[in-house]
């Protein structure tokens, strides 16, 4: 059996590495060598247990073989590096070892999940299998005439991400705010010139990530300087206002659904226990009033001369791994939606982990959704007769969870869902081949994915595998059959790629209206690359999202 041979080869290389590494420990006072030895020993024990199995019939051998082949690649790369170290062992080599060790730790975690993977999993089947044939009318691939050029464009963009990551990491090493800003500036200049050093520093950081650095990197667009620069690149809209929405219904996890006071007015200024929301609109939805006049009702309720003139809106939930980013950072595309569709967008700034783990974010979007349904007409001149939920990455997760809550609570279900590369499965027992893309991804690296999941689902009693509010892919047909039309966009090289296909299959089996489009050579996060200096191919994803939003509104009209 080929997979047994690959496991045996892996074990041979692991044994060789365990013989070569100990002598280097004495040459450098570092914890990296023992950490590497410990990680390799763990890999060895798990590979040995797999090799000694008497019955492989219940394992998904396709997945296992692909995983072991990838592991073999990294083991061979480490072996080549160590054999070239000669007699010296400098800090640079120690850092390289740290990078490899972090990858082996992730492989070790993945090996634990192999027994839980179904041998008949969709992704492991041949494309000629009837299950894939069934998917064909509902899914398509957007291909490019020069795919290598597309890959190069995204790779170059990821180098820019590495530059940002590197100079942010330099600044955060300082204690005072002034020193941080000075070092960020110096780091920006240095790493903009020496990009290879930025890539290296990013790989080192990824190997041993810190949540504060990760948050600052992902929140870079929200910084004063960058946000002003980005503002020049984004289309102007007539209304772009931050508002604070009161909580008007019971908590999202409450078994009893009751209203606190449905018709409460929003506030213009932040107050405790309000949900921050951004209202983006390309027109004045209230007849014969100034744009600022829309906000005259803040603090009071006045509907005497507010006639609704619009009946559609997009309710947007941003991504960012549940720990970062905001409605502001996602204006790169939400403004384009508002402008090109001529439809208002409500973008929700839910509370973020680690300060606010699950279910705080979900409760915020639930509260905001209820308020919009009950108050947008009287207070903003928008009658939400048609409402589409849109979310990317973590926002896609929350959009589905919110819809499930509406179904279970017998509350107004949205008229459609637009999901960009959604995070559908947060289970620790989950593995799929597309997750291996995260081993070399600078935006959603494997260590970050584990880190943000641990912060968002901090409560150890949570059922990450079966709780549909945490892992939406776990929803039963009884829930799925009530979902509105759904459109899903995902990149070919996205760690969440495979789950999007699995979820699409479940939706088809539940008789739902669903379409999925995959983009060749595209990594995670394409919506956010649609700006001057970003990636031009990402506009293909944006344009499809606009087309599908139009389609979802038309379906409801019909």
Most confident residue range from 49-58, 223-232, 292-301, 303-312: 49-58
**If you write DSSP's letter for every residue of 160-223 in order, what string do you get?**
HHHHHHHHHHHHHTSSSHHHHHHHHHHHHHHHHH-HHHHHHHHHHHHHS--HHHHHHHHTGGGS
User: What per-residue confidence (pLDDT) applies to 259?
Assistant: 72
User: What per-residue confidence (pLDDT) applies to 29?
Assistant: 52
What three-state secondary structure class fits 156? helix
**If you write DSSP's letter for every residue of 135-151 in order, what string do you get?**
HGGGEEEE--S-HHHHH
pLDDT classification of 299: cutoffs 50, 70, 90:
very low
**How many Å apart are CA 540 and CA 147, to the nearest integer?**
14
**Neighbouring-strand partners of residue 249:** 259
- Whether 8 is catalytic: no
**How many Å apart are CA 540 and CA 490, to the nearest integer?**
12
Residue, of 195 and 482, whose pLDDT is higher: 482
Q: Which of 134, 141, 193 is nearest to 167 (CA)?
A: 193
Residue, of 228 and 435, whose pLDDT is higher: 435
**How many Å apart are CA 18 and CA 200, to the nearest integer?**
25
Residue, of 208 and 386, whose pLDDT is higher: 386
Is residue 18 within 8 Å of residue 41, measured between CB atoms? yes
State the pTM of this model: 0.92
User: What per-residue confidence (pLDDT) applies to 257?
Assistant: 72
Q: Which of 338, 461, 335, 322 is nearest to 398 (CA)?
A: 322
**How many Å apart are CA 473 and CA 426, to the nearest integer?**
9
Q: Is beta strand 275-281 parallel, antiparallel or unpaired with respect to 239-245?
A: antiparallel
Distances (CA, A) of 459 to 112, 424, 456, 471, 522: 21, 19, 9, 15, 34
Sheet holding 310-317, edge to edge: 139-142, 514-519, 486-491, 416-420, 382-392, 310-317, 345-349, 275-281, 239-245
**How many Å apart are CA 291 and CA 238, to the nearest integer?**
7
pLDDT classification of 446: cutoffs 50, 70, 90:
very high
User: What per-residue confidence (pLDDT) applies to 301?
Assistant: 44
Is residue 193 within 8 Å of residue 159, measured between CB atoms? no
**How many Å apart are CA 226 and CA 160, to the nearest integer?**
14
User: What per-residue confidence (pLDDT) applies to 288?
Assistant: 38
**How many Å apart are CA 193 and CA 167, to the nearest integer?**
12
Asked whether the predicted pLDDT for residue 338 surpasses 70, the reply is: yes
User: What per-residue confidence (pLDDT) applies to 193?
Assistant: 58
Q: How confident is the prediction for the chain on average, in pLDDT?
A: 87
User: What per-residue confidence (pLDDT) applies to 57?
Assistant: 85
User: What per-residue confidence (pLDDT) applies to 503?
Assistant: 98
Query: 464-511 pLDDT, tens per residue?
Result: 999 999 999 999 999 999 999 999 999 999 999 999 999 999 999 999
**How many Å apart are CA 536 and CA 111, to the nearest integer?**
38
491 — phi, psi (to 5°)?
A: -85, 150
- Name the active-site residue from 124, 250, 326, 393: 393
Angle (CA) 362 365 370, round 5°: 125
Query: 313-333 pLDDT, tens per residue?
Result: 999 999 999 999 999 989 999
């Amino acid at each position: 059996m080929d997979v047994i041979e690959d496991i045996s080869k892996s074990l041979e290389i692991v044994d060789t590495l365990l013989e070569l590494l100990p002598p280097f420990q004495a040459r450098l006072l570092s914890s990296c060598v023992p950490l590497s030895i410990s990680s390799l020993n763990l890999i060895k024990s798990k590979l040995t247990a797999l090799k000694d199995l008497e019955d492989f019939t219940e394992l998904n051998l396709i997945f296992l073989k692909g995983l072991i082949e990838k592991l073999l690649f990294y083991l061979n790369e480490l072996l080549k590096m160590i054999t070239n170290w000669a007699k010296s062992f400098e800090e640079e080599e120690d850092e390289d070892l740290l990078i490899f060790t972090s990858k082996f730790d992730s492989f070790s975690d993945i090996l634990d999940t192999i027994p839980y993977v179904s041998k008949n999993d969709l992704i492991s089947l041949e494309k000629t299998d009837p299950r894939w044939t069934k998917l064909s009318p509902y899914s398509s691939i957007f291909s490019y005439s020069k795919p290598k050029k597309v890959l190069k464009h995204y790779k170059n963009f990821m180098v820019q991400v590495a530059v940002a990551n590197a100079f942010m990491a330099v600044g955060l090493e300082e204690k005072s705010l002034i020193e941080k800003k000075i070092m960020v500036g110096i780091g920006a200049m240095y790493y903009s010139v020496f990009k290879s050093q930025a890539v290296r520093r990013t790989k080192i950081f990824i190997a041993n990530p810190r949540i504060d650095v990760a948050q600052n990197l992902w929140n870079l667009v929200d910084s004063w300087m960058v946000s002003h620069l980005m503002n020049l690149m984004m289309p102007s809209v007539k209304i772009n206002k931050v508002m604070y929405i009161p909580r008007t219904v019971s908590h999202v996890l409450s078994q009893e659904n009751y209203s606190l006071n449905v018709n409460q007015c929003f506030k213009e200024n932040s107050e405790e226990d309000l949900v921050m929301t951004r209202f983006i609109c390309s027109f004045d939805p209230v007849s014969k009033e100034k744009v600022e006049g829309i906000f005259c009702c803040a603090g009071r309720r006045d509907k005497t001369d507010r006639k609704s003139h619009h009946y559609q809106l997009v309710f947007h939930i941003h991504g960012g791994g549940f720990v970062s980013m905001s409605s502001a950072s996602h204006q790169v595309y939400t403004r384009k939606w508002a402008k090109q569709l001529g439809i208002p967008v409500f973008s929700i700034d839910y509370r973020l982990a680690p300060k606010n783990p699950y279910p705080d974010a979900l409760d915020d979007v639930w509260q905001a959704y209820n308020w919009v349904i009950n108050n947008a007409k009287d207070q903003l001149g928008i009658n939400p007769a048609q409402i589409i939920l849109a979310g990317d990455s973590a926002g896609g997760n929350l959009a589905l969870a919110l819809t499930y809550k509406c179904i279970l609570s017998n509350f107004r279900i949205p008229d459609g869902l637009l999901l960009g590369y959604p995070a559908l499965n947060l289970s620790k027992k989950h593995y799929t081949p597309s997750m291996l893309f995260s081993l070399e991804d600078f935006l959603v690296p494997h260590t970050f994915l584990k880190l943000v999941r641990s912060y968002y689902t901090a409560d150890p009693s949570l059922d990450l595998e079966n709780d549909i509010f945490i892992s939406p892919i776990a929803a039963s047909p009884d829930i799925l059959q009530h979902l509105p039309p759904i459109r899903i966009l995902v990149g070919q090289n996205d760690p969440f790629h495979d789950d999007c296909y699995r979820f699409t299959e479940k939706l088809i089996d539940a008789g739902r209206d669903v379409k999925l489009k995959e983009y060749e050579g595209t990594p995670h996060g394409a919506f956010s690359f649609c700006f001057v200096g970003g990636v031009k191919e990402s506009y293909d994803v944006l344009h499809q999202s606009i087309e599908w939003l139009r389609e979802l509104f038309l379906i409801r009209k019909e």
